[in-house]
Structure 1
Amino acid sequence: MQAATGRAAIAVAAMLMLVGCGGDGMPQLMNLRSGQGPDEFGILPPKPLAMPEDLATLPEPTVGGANRTDPQPFDEAIVALGGKPGAAGGIPASDSAIYAHAARFGVESGIRTTLANEDLEWRRDNNGRILERLFNVNVYFKAYRKQWLDQQAELARWRKVGVKTPSAPPRKDGEE
């Protein structure tokens, strides 16, 4: 009786230790779910108050509306990259020629959704291992390993042809 109880206690302890070692094994950059605690990048300080040149140009206050001192990080990023915040969504006149050339064979609406669905299906079909399917393991890198570009071989190929190329990172230990 005591031997059975002792074995059960050891089995439970081993199971708890095994559960404690869990993890999804995903690289951190592919697992961008919010963790515990505050997001230090989500805290944006307000802009300093400024007196307008003409008080008549002040907008009428609205309940729940935007404030002139509220940070606009997306608009500020667009401006920092040389864009115009209000122009998002359309094709600027300066890019109309390149868009016309890219769309000369037709444009499929919803292509991003279609590609995402096809990619997910392809990774499911090329997974191959039943345990990975059952436990929802990320197989992104494994599924696309055959399609990876060998940057060193590609660099050598372009240099052999005479094309000026930037340097590539050195090979990691164990790579051929």
Structure 2
Amino acid sequence: MRVIWALIGTAALAACSSDPLLHNIRAGQSTPDEFAIVPTRALSMPGDLNVLPPPTPGGANITDPNPKGDAVAALGGNPAQLAAQGVGAADGALINYASRLGVQGGIRQQLAVEDVEWRSKRSRRLLETVARSDVYYRAYQTMTLDSWAENERWRRAGAQVPSAPPKTLD
């Protein structure tokens, strides 16, 4: 019986954490991803050596694996679209409008700090403080949009709304 209580105590102690990065499953990952290791492509000799592309230091090699590009090509897409090509022509006006009052650097870090402060001030109960449990969802519950009610509100107003899957009972 003591062994069971010791295991329960160890598990409870291991569950106690106030780390806000626990919502991000990749946070703190410093080891290589073993699923990202793929073999290189086979070497091949081109028919004409005069048409070889010029070398690009730091660039990709012809034999480098490209699993995402291969998957896109297998599904009938254009693998060249995976490369970062900047802001698309259709999004330029949106970016200009959103940044019309200026752009603040380091906004993600500032929001992370403000989020931790917001959650520490709200929805903390004594037992949660002692157990250091997560109050993320309860802290933001008043700001959560009921998507089903909003969909119905717009539908009743006569707006064309996309069809939604039936609401499941949880």
TM-score by length of 2: 0.64
Higher relative contact order, chain-length normalized (CA < 8 Å, sep 6+): 2
CA deviations over 1:14-63 (Å, ceiling 9, x no partner): 522423654749xxx9452599xx9663232323333235435366798x
Amino acid in the other structure paired with 1:70: D
Which sections of structure 1, spanning at least 5 residues, go unmatched? 1-9
The residue aligned with 2:19 is none
Structure 1 residues 82, 146: closer, same or farther in 2, change over 3 A? farther
Structure 1 residues 123, 96: closer, same or farther in 2, change over 3 A? same
TM-score by length of 1: 0.62
The residue aligned with 1:132 is 128
Could you tell me the percent identity over the aligned residues?
38
The residue aligned with 1:83 is 81
The residue aligned with 1:32 is 25
The residue aligned with 1:70 is 64
Which one of the candidate residues 111, 117, 120 is aligned to 1:115?
Answer: 111
Mapped contact 1:75–1:85 kept (Cα < 8 A)? no
The residue aligned with 2:157 is 161
Looking at structure 2, the residues matched to 164 and 65 of structure 1 have their Cα atoms a distance apart, in angstroms, of 47
Structure 1 residues 109, 61: closer, same or farther in 2, change over 3 A? closer
Q: How far has the Cα of 1:115 moved from its partner?
A: 1.3
Mapped contact 2:41–2:63 kept (Cα < 8 A)? yes
Matched position secondary structure for 1:83 = helix
Structure 1 residues 94, 105: closer, same or farther in 2, change over 3 A? same
Mapped contact 2:69–2:79 kept (Cα < 8 A)? no
Which sections of structure 2, spanning at least 5 residues, go unmatched? 17-21
Looking at structure 2, the residues matched to 80 and 153 of structure 1 have their Cα atoms a distance apart, in angstroms, of 39
Which one of the candidate residues 40, 45, 51 is aligned to 1:51?
Answer: 45
The residue aligned with 1:146 is 142
The residue aligned with 1:101 is 97
Mapped contact 2:124–2:135 kept (Cα < 8 A)? no
Structure 1 residues 110, 83: closer, same or farther in 2, change over 3 A? farther
Aligned length: 155
Structure 1 residues 83, 54: closer, same or farther in 2, change over 3 A? same
The residue aligned with 2:6 is 16
Looking at structure 1, the residues matched to 90 and 113 of structure 2 have their Cα atoms a distance apart, in angstroms, of 33
Looking at structure 1, the residues matched to 135 and 53 of structure 2 have their Cα atoms a distance apart, in angstroms, of 55
Amino acid in the other structure paired with 1:138: D
